[in-house]
Structure 1
Amino acid sequence: MIRRLLHGFGYLAAHVLFLGATTPRAVVRRLRLAYRLVGVRIVETPGVDAVERTVFLCPYRNLAANWFGEKWICHDILDRVDDGYVTYLRRHKDIDYQRPQGCTELEYCSESAYCYSEVSKLSEYSE
C-alpha cells in the first residue's frame, strides 16, 4: 500500500516537475534539480550517444540500515517515487527514464557507493 502511494506521489509530482519539458535534455535538467533538492551529490553528467546519464552518490544509502537493511531509503522508498516519474514520462512525454541503478554495471564507474540514471527518447533507447 505504501509503495503504491509513493508511486502515485511520484506520478503526480511529475506533472509539476516536468511541465513544459519535452526533450530528454530538458527532462534530465529537471531530474538533476530534483536530485539536488533532496541532497543528492551529482558526480558526473555524461551524454552517451542519445542518452543523458547522471552519475551520483546517494546520501541516503545507509540511512536506517540498522532497522530496515542497507539501501532501504535510497533503493526502496525513493525508487517507488521514481517509478511514478517513469510511468508519467513514458505515458505523456515518450521519454524513457531508467531510474537509478547500481554503478558497478558501468565499466568506468565501479565504485559501489555510486548510482546512475539515464534519460532518452523511447524510440531511440529501445532500438
Structure 2
Amino acid sequence: MLERLLHAFGYAFAHLLFFRAASPDTIVRRLRLAYRLVGVRIVETPRVDEVRRTIFLCPYRNLAADRFGEKWLCHQKLDRVDDGYVTFLRRHRDIDYQRPQCCSDLPYCDDSEYCYSEVSRSKAQAEP
C-alpha cells in the first residue's frame, strides 16, 4: 500500500517537476535539482555516449537499518517515488530514466555507498 502511494506521489510530482521539460539534458537538470532538494550529494555527472549519468551519495542509506535492514528507506521506499518518475517520463516524454541503482554495477564506481541514475532518449525514439 505504501509503495503504491509513493509511486502515485512520484507520478503526480513528475508533472510539476518536468513541466515543459522534453530533452534529456533538461530532464537531467531537473532530476539533479530534485536530488539536491532532498539532501542528496551529487559526486559526478559523466556523459556516456547519449546517456546522462548522475553518481551520488544517498544520505538516507542506513536510516532505520537496524530495524528494517540496510538500504530499506533509500532503495526500497524512495525508489517507488522514482518509479513514478520513470512511468511519467516513459509515457509523456519518451525518455528512458533508469532510477537509482547500486554503483557496484559500474567498473569505475565500486564504492557501495554510491548510487547512480541514467537518462536517455527511449530506444524506440532513438533508433530511426
Normalising by the residue count of structure 1, what TM-score does the alignment of the two structures yield? 0.97
TM-score between the two structures when normalised by the length of structure 2: 0.96
Task: List runs of 5+ in structure 1 lacking aligned partners.
Answer: none
Q: Give the Cα separation in 2 of the matches to 1:92 and 1:44.
A: 28
Distance 2:26 2:74 in 1: 24
User: What displacement does 1:11 show?
Assistant: 0.1
Change (3 A) 1:125 1:49: farther
For residue 56 of structure 1, give the secondary structure of its aligned residue in structure 2: strand
The CA distance in 2 between the partners of 1:11 and 1:80, in whole Å, is 10
User: Residue 95 of structure 1: CA displacement?
Assistant: 0.2
Checking the alignment, whether the CA contact within 8 Å between 2:94 and 2:125 is kept in structure 1 is no
Aligned to 1:108: 108
> Which contiguous aligned blocks of 4+ residues in structure 1 show a shift greater than 3 angstroms?
124-127
* Residue in structure 1 matched with residue 36 of structure 2 by the alignment: 36
Contact between 1:51 and 1:125, CA under 8 Å: does it hold in 2? no
What count of residue pairs does the alignment treat as equivalent? Answer: 127
Q: Sort the Cα spacing of 1:77 and 1:22 in 2 relative to 1 into closer, same or farther, 3 A.
A: same
Q: Secondary structure at the match of 1:55?
A: strand
| Aligned-partner Cα distance in 2 for 1:56–1:124 | 28
Query: Does the residue aligned with 1:112 lie in a helix, a strand or coil?
Result: coil
Is the CA contact (8 Å cut-off) linking 1:50 and 1:124 kept in structure 2?
no
Unaligned ranges ≥5, structure 2: none
Confirm or deny: 8 A CA contact 1:96 1:125 kept in the other structure: no
- SS of the aligned residue for 2:111 comes to coil
Q: CA RMSD in A?
A: 1.4
Percent of aligned positions that are identical: 71
Give the Å deviation of 1:123.
Answer: 2.2
For residue 95 of structure 1, what is the aligned residue in structure 2?
A: 95
Name the structure 2 match of 1:78: 78
Query: 1:96 Cα deviation (Å)?
Result: 0.4
